[in-house]
Amino acid sequence: MRYRLFSREVETFIMNFKSGIVSIIGRPNVGKSTLLNAVLGEKIVITSDKPQTTRNRALGVKHTERGQIVFFDTPGIHDQRGLLNEYMVKVALKTFKEVDLILYMVEAGRGIGKGDRFVIEKMERVSTPVILCINKVDLVKRDSVLPLITAYTGLFPFKEVIPISALNNEGVEILISLLLDALPEGPRYFPDDTVTDMPERFIAAEIIREKVFRALQQEVPYSVAVLVDSFKEAPERKLLSIAASIYVERESQKGIIIGRGGKMLKGIGSRARRDMERLFGTRVYLELFVTVKKNWTKDGRRLKEFGYDLPQ
């Protein structure tokens, strides 16, 4: 609050206030979204044990005394085909040039693979500094991390290397201070109380998609898109009424999502409602519908309709 008394230039000059944008990138499933939630202490992006959970670029703002870090959470970078997959990779790669710092995340339990070489090749083409973050150290023996660090630093001139466990919140504070060290002095880009620029209805749709991802096996989640049809607040009754549609590609998938006697859909709905109530701080009334849009993941027009549209 006290910084608000100063003009932008004076604030920067007096406080040495740091700020900038950091893009979290890496292969699918390494824990990028888990890290963003851990940094913010609030769950604004969805996570699951399935690759390709994150489809769009998400923005989260970390406020500290020393500075303000704007994070981009991105879809995993991989080389799988398909319109939706290609869209996701483009979203991630596009951030490279827009940001002050790249946070490249890898997993402690896995060696360097083709995917890493693919990403490193892309990073070599930009001058943006890169910090290497080795996640999931809770899953491995301590002495297995050092050889991995040596292998990675032999491949690319990382500015810093830091091992963490995003899930257990280990090393996250140190990471934040490393990022602040590396960022330039600058203004506050967002007011103190802003955590994200994503509209509440989008986050609501994402929460539902997370519950679908977590409830279903194999390929079905990848065929799912969620749109919120209505989002009505009744503050006097402390109630938020949300109606949303879950889109699938085939009739058989609709059956799976609804489940026997509607049991699956009911579970998805009640888990989503609980998360929404926590995040929005109000009671939520949630209605879900399941609709078939044949082969929407292969249809450019439909992708746009569902918000998977890259501005040229």
Rounded-to-integer distance, Cα 36 and Cα 136, Å: 14
Closest-CB residue for ligand GDP? 31
Rounded-to-integer distance, Cα 113 and Cα 116, Å: 5
CB of 47 to ligand GDP, least distance (A): 3
CB of 242 to Mg ion, least distance (A): 23
Binding site for Mg ion (CB under 5 A): 32-33, 54
How many other CB atoms are there within 10 angstroms of residue 255's CB atom? 13
Backbone φ and ψ of 222, nearest 5°: -70, -15
| 48 binds, options ligand GDP, Mg ion, none, Cβ within 5 to 8 A by partner type | ligand GDP
For residue 24, which of 79, 61, 75 has the smallest C-alpha distance? Answer: 75
Q: Does 30 bind ligand GDP (CB under 6 A)?
A: yes
Name which of 60 and 76 has its Cβ closer to ligand GDP: 76
Among positions 64-103, residues that touch ligand GDP (CB under 6 A) are: 76
Dihedral angle sign, alpha carbons of residues 271, 276, 278, 284: negative
CB of 124 to ligand GDP, least distance (A): 22
Which tokens belong to 231?
A: 């989002």
| 139 binds, options ligand GDP, Mg ion, none, Cβ within 5 to 8 A by partner type | ligand GDP
Tokens 């889109």 map to which residue? 247
Binding track, positions 32-51, relative to ligand GDP; x by CB under 6 A: xxx------------xxx--
Q: Are the CB atoms for 66 and 179 separated by under 8 Å? A: no
Residues within the interface to ligand GDP (CB under 6 A): 28-34, 47-49, 53-54, 76, 135-136, 138-139, 165-167
